[in-house]
């Protein structure tokens, strides 16, 4: 996959643990994973009915500002910057989501630089949370308040 402006982060992750502190909700699992290339740690809440992961699984995770295959802007059908993935599903245009099994839409709600060389980006996907932590070089594209698409597929 060539580098696009809308891809904020992409890497393959190995699962370290699932529901380490016990299962809190029936349909939600918390995944603790480590990236293979960029040495990033990820804590991610997923809908366990839609995205079934095992401890031995690896998955590719991509965070993008849009689902467009051509540029960083959403199609005109979205109107006034309001993101809506349904425009791709109902339309004939291919999107980044076509190459993945699990997709969520959310917003960056916190960006923490207090841990020295490592930074953390916190994203909320309608109550399902994610924390991606690592070197600032890999997280410098994240801005609090920005919309983010999370795309996953098992490998």
pLDDT at 14: 97
pLDDT at 25: 92
pLDDT at 88: 63
Residue 135 near residue 38, CB atoms below 8 Å: yes
pLDDT at 1: 45
pLDDT at 32: 97
pLDDT at 3: 57
pLDDT at 42: 98
What is this structure's pTM?
A: 0.86
Residue 148 near residue 64, CB atoms below 8 Å: yes
Strand-strand pairing, 58-64 and 147-154: antiparallel
145: β partners: none
pLDDT at 7: 94
pLDDT at 2: 52
Q: Which residues of the chain have pLDDT under 50?
A: 1, 76-82
């Amino acid at each position: 996959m060539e580098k696009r402006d809308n891809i904020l982060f992409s890497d393959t992750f190995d699962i370290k643990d699932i529901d380490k502190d016990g299962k809190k909700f029936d349909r939600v699992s918390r995944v603790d994973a480590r990236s293979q290339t960029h040495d990033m740690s990820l804590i991610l809440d997923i809908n366990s009915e839609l995205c079934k992961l095992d401890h031995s699984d690896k998955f590719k995770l991509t965070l993008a500002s849009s689902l467009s295959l051509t540029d960083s802007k959403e199609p005109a059908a979205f109107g006034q910057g309001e993101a809506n993935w349904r425009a791709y599903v109902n339309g004939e245009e291919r999107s980044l989501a076509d190459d993945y099994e699990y997709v969520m839409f959310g917003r960056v709600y916190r960006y923490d630089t207090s841990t020295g060389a490592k930074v953390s980006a916190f994203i909320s996907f309608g109550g399902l949370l994610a924390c991606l932590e690592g070197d600032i070089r890999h997280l410098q594209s994240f801005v609090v308040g920005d919309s983010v698409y999370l795309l996953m597929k098992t490998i």
